[in-house]
């Protein structure tokens, strides 16, 4: 049995939808005091009501907003024990059509936004004495590729590069930093890709199903427990075995 995280203050950026909402649900269910963050006030308020958590409208790509996120968690929940830096965007654009603005946008939210949030939360995470940072990266970039997502893949691999050095800088402060790498997780946004896309993805997953948002939430919860205190700078792939097959033939042999 793992030590309870009840009462701990947890920030989930991008907690208003999809995976982040699943992470927030799992932590709230474990008794944590959760602050979810997103840019859309209506979606944030609805998700907060549904989950029984607190919300803040903020944009993680802006430094002053990240400072406001940390300050709000301290004011409302007495500190920051866990930061789930999950907010991310994945617009589909081939390299041939990609503009400088497209690149800035994806790297601005996924990479800069992650770094700014971690930076803004450093003091309360250190004060916690058991501070945890959990990044939502992806298998796309660190392990796999998908046409249309070269900027996205670059951003998800960049998060891991950031993590490996930041984890060293944070270790003396008693803060750990790890990443979860989801495979294909069934979110509202993924459903929008259509049934053909979902069927193709399901067929590529040895465990035979897309992941649930709770699958990712549970992995984050584990990394936040006292029992995970000696794990830092690591990546936890949560993908139903999607990156395992060497070829389509290997998958067909199952």
**HSE toward the beta carbon, residue 129, CA cutoff 13 A:** 1
Q: Is 152 a catalytic residue?
A: yes
Given the complex with ligand NAP, which of 86 and 150 has the nearer CB atom?
86
Q: For residue 146, with 0-12 CB atoms within 10 Å meaning exposed, 13-18 middle and 19 or more buried, which class applies?
A: middle
Among 5, 10, 11, 14, which residue sits at the site for ligand NAP (rule: CB under 6 A)? 14
Q: By CB under 6 A, tell whether 160 contacts ligand NAP.
A: no
Q: Give me the phi and psi of 233, to 5 degrees please.
A: 80, 20
The two tokens of residue 236 are 């936890």
Given the complex with ligand NAP, which of 42 and 227 has the nearer CB atom?
42
Task: Cite the DSSP H helix spans in the chain.
Answer: 18-29, 41-51, 63-77, 100-107, 113-128, 150-170, 188-191, 195-203, 213-224, 248-252
Q: By CB under 6 A, tell whether 87 contacts ligand NAP.
A: yes
Q: By CB under 6 A, tell whether 220 contacts ligand NAP.
A: no
Q: By CB under 6 A, tell whether 72 contacts ligand NAP.
A: no
Q: By CB under 6 A, tell whether 217 contacts ligand NAP.
A: no
- How many of the chain's residues bind ligand NAP (CB under 6 A)? 31
Among 35, 53, 56, 60, which residue sits at the site for ligand NAP (rule: CB under 6 A)? 60
Residue numbers of the site for ligand NAP (CB under 6 A)? 13-14, 16-20, 37-40, 43, 59-61, 86-90, 109, 113, 136, 138, 182, 184-185, 187-190
């Amino acid at each position: 049995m793992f030590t309870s995280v009840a009462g701990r203050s947890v920030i989930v950026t991008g907690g208003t939808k999809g995976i982040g909402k699943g992470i927030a649900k799992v932590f709230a269910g474990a008794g944590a005091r959760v602050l979810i963050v997103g840019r859309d006030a209506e979606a944030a308020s609805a998700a907060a009501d549904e989950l029984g958590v607190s919300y803040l409208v903020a944009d993680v790509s802006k430094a002053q907003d990240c400072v406001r996120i940390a300050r709000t968690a301290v004011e409302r929940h007495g500190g920051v024990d866990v930061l789930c830096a999950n907010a991310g965007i994945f617009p589909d654009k081939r390299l041939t059509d990609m503009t400088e603005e497209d690149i800035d946008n994806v790297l601005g939210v996924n990479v800069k936004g992650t770094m700014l949030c971690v930076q803004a939360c450093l003091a309360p995470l250190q004060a916690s004495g058991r501070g945890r940072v959990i990044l939502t990266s992806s298998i796309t970039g660190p392990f796999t590729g998908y046409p249309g997502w070269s900027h996205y893949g670059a951003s998800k691999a960049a998060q891991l590069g950031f993590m490996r050095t930041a984890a060293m800088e944070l270790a003396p402060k008693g803060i750990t930093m790890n990443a979860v790498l989801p495979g294909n997780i069934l979110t509202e946004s993924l459903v929008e890709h259509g049934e053909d896309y979902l069927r193709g993805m399901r067929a590529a997953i040895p465990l035979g199903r897309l992941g649930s948002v709770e699958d990712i939430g549970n992995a984050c919860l584990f990394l936040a427990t006292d029992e995970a205190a000696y794990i830092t700078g690591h990546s936890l792939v949560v993908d139903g075995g999607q990156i395992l097959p060497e070829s389509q033939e290997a998958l067909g042999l199952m």
